[in-house]
Amino acid sequence: MNNLILKNKLRSGDVCLGSWITLGHSGIAEIMCNAGFDWLVVDLEHTTISIDQAGELIRTIDLAGCAPLVRLTSNNSDQIKRVMDAGAHGIVVPMVNSVEDVKNAIASTRYAPDGTRGVGLARAQGYGPKFSEYLRWQKDSAVVIPQIEHKNALDCLEDILSVSGVDGFIIGPYDLSCSMGIQGSLSTLNSKKQ
């Protein structure tokens, strides 16, 4: 399974380069994969990409040898299940504000007894024949990246990032600045951080 490559790079601290897909055309995804990115995020939160288009983009990115990740519309276990079943190697979770938020997201990528995700037989599981292989993979290889984009998350940031199963994080500077009352003032955000 080439879906171990990104997780292994993250674990070893290697530099991983990626980009964002905001248009639902598989040709764009294929071009970006051929540019040499390690990962591409299919953005469902701030685009008009449908779940059908996301499935096609995930397939295209995966077959091109790049790791497909999906930024969710919200921390929704049903949506997580669907994109993981479509073959996503992991998720980017918006508006994570607590340890409980990130634990729920991680649990939604894993089957019981390690998580809460329902079992389906779709592309990720080879439509059935690769279920045993996928069962082993999903235990600790799904990538989970919380987005820190509200001032409430800052109060427990260290705890959020120390949860087992967190592979990295993304700062959402505009949402974070808005929650801090300094809408879009990123230089002010930087000085408040110090």
**Rounded to a whole number, what is the largest CA-CA distance in the chain?**
54
Helix 51-63 crosses helix 26-34 at what angle (to 10 degrees)? Answer: 30
What 3-state DSSP class applies to 42? Answer: strand
Instruction: Tell me, yes or no, if 46 is annotated catalytic.
Output: yes
Report the share of the chain in percent with pLDDT over 70. Answer: 94
Structure tokens at 16: 């991983």
* 169 sits in which H/E element: none
Confidence of residue 164 (pLDDT cuts 50, 70, 90): very high
**Mean of the per-residue pLDDT values of the chain:** 93
Asked if the model's pLDDT at residue 171 lies above 60, the reply is yes
Report the share of the chain in percent with pLDDT over 90. Answer: 85
pLDDT in tens, 123-157: 999 999 999 999 999 998 999 999 999 999 999 99
Eight-class DSSP state of 139: T
Mean pLDDT value of segment 153-165: 95
Mean pLDDT value of segment 94-117: 98
Compute the CA torsion angle 86, 87, 92, 96 (nearest 10 deg).
Answer: 60
Walk me through the domains of the chain, giving residue ranges and CATH numbers: 2-193 (3.20.20.60)
The CA distance from 93 to 75, in Å, is: 6
The CA distance from 17 to 63, in Å, is: 18
Confidence of residue 1 (pLDDT cuts 50, 70, 90): very low
Neighbours of 99 (CB within 10 A): 14
Mean pLDDT value of segment 174-189: 85
Structure tokens at 45: 């939160």
The CA distance from 177 to 170, in Å, is: 14
Q: Of 138, 46, 55, which is closest to residue 89 (Cα–Cα)? A: 138
Asked if the model's pLDDT at residue 190 lies above 80, the reply is no
Residue 163 is predicted with a pLDDT of: 97
Residue in 25, 46, 89, 150 annotated catalytic: 46
Asked if the model's pLDDT at residue 51 lies above 80, the reply is yes
